[in-house]
Structure 1
């Protein structure tokens, strides 16, 4: 787990500490399902005591194995995401209006350590593209035979005929047969 000790920093408004770390993750849970993580998840950055909160700024990077939405081939996707989170002490009983909580976007700080894993996961999830394509010009699969069109053309008849004109095509075939 990537944890940062901030015990000393909490007492020094304006102070900063730099951090760097990496973790081995096997999967990243997305809305589309679980995605394999095929490289260590690296994080670098700094924590700044702003006086009210601890501001974490940095970068998260890894490589995912995604499946192309068009051709269904697996491919490696290097992913780099900006990391920016604020952490603040939770309210003590009787204290009012500290502004710490989910509605303000400030994560609660409990103790003298910041666990970066939830923030790292969130940053990576936000950086994943909505449409997973192995390449920008992916041609996808043939809708008739299922061949991957990136590997070559298939022999399917790709002409589309308006069903209302099918009778005319039949008449033309009959006429060609008479000649």
Structure 2
């Protein structure tokens, strides 16, 4: 997916961009999340003074392992994205959010993939109500109650517990 910065500035009106990015290298280093298919992009590109602004939404189907119960789940993720580009080095030096590019035609794919991956959850969960696995017996608490007793004892008071047990 490309955008020509000079043509965009000359046009003066926003340009709609739609497409699909391949996701094979998108979630590198993540064993728990996989992007199924590709990343769908629905974007608008516009020019303001000497800066091109590309914003919109990225969406993809995610397959992940829940960090609480270890079940595999699927979920659609939608991520808002805004990327800014300029051909003038001085503008990019003043603002860290603006990418300096040397070519008039910019391939948006690496910027969009990175913007999507950065917003993936650190620990994916299948749902807010997920109870996870029992730390004592390892049973899935979502499927059945295990009845294990978990005694939470402050280690600072462990000596007192021994004193009262005798």
Shorter-chain TM-score tier: 0.7 to 0.9
User: Which 10-residue stretch deviates more, 44-53 or 31-40?
Assistant: 31-40
SS of 1:149's equivalent in the other structure is coil
TM-score by length of structure 1 reads 0.74
User: Does residue 1:146 correspond to 2:145, yes or no?
Assistant: no
Question: Shift of residue 24 of structure 1?
Answer: 2.9
Tell me how many residue pairs correspond in the alignment: 161
1:124 counterpart (102, 116, 123): 116
Partner of 1:51: 49
SS of 1:58's equivalent in the other structure is strand
- 2:47, 2:164 → 1: CA distance? 78
Kindly provide the CA deviation profile for residues 52-84 of structure 1, in whole angstroms up to 9, marking residues without a partner as x: 111111111101122211111121121111111
Instruction: Point out the structure with max Rg over C-alpha.
Output: 1
Q: Structure 1 residues 100 and 138, CA, compared in 2 at 3 Å: closer, same or farther?
A: same
Residues 4 and 105 in structure 2, CA contact (< 8 A), matched pair in contact too: yes
In structure 1, stretches of 5+ residues that fail to align are 92-97, 172-179
Partner of 1:174: none
Partner of 1:8: 7
TM-score by length of structure 2 reads 0.79
